[in-house]
Amino acid sequence: MDSLKNLKVFVVGWTGACGDALSLEIAKRKLFKEVMLVGRRRVELTGDDPRSKFEQVVVDFEDLEKSAESFKGCSVGYVTMGSTRQSGASNFVKVDYDYTMAVAKLANEVGCKQLHYVSAVGANKDSCFLYPKTKGKVEHEMAELGFEQVFIYRPALLIRPGKERVVERISYYIIKPVTAFKPTWNQIEAENVAKSIIAKSTEFDQGKKREILSNSQMHEAAQSLA
């Protein structure tokens, strides 16, 4: 991972489940020279939080260009933000498409080389349903922007011990008998999502890549991380 030591990176959506796990993993491993945590508000971190030394950048996603200067110099970008369909169709599209693509486009403009995007299982730009269609559109359009490397992750049911939403908790217990025999089938812990992302980040200097990781492939990538 020595090739990452001199890089500046950003994490958008770092207060969500995957972003939280990812930013913590980055901090614990001391992977990068400079880490920028991007969000709509500043979060007070205690002194024992390993991320307390990271720079926090507060942005207006409706006018992201105003924050372009902060993104300059970032070689790697992590986009982990997302809403839910339950938040309403318009809000979901605004966050998961408008804001997400605004980040990707700005990152590309300032010369970011490697972009990581946490999508979802079933993403399909041609779907008749809003959620998978929106995720699929983002995947497709990100890959077309011209980044040297784009890694897309499609987690299934996200497990975040102690922090699950009610629906997630119910779903977990419904599929538990199956996952007991095949843990990688239809669930993944947020920590393993983070580890799979870091595992792929180490391919920074390995030429052009466009890769979509399924839930099982994310498990494999996480296991490969020392």
Give 15's DSSP letter: T
Q: What is the rounded end-to-end Cα distance, in angstroms, of the chain?
A: 10
Catalytic residue among 78, 99, 135, 195: 135
Which among 8, 94, 113, 131 is annotated as catalytic? 131
Active site residue 172: no
Helices 100-109, 130-143: crossing angle, 10 deg rounding: 0
Instruction: Give me the DSSP letters along 25-42.
Output: HHHHHT--SEEEEEESS-
- Residue whose token pair is 């490969």: 224
Is 208 among the catalytic positions?
no
What's the burial of 181, exposed, middle or buried (CB within 10 Å: 0-12/13-18/19+)? exposed
Catalytic positions, written as ranges = 131, 135
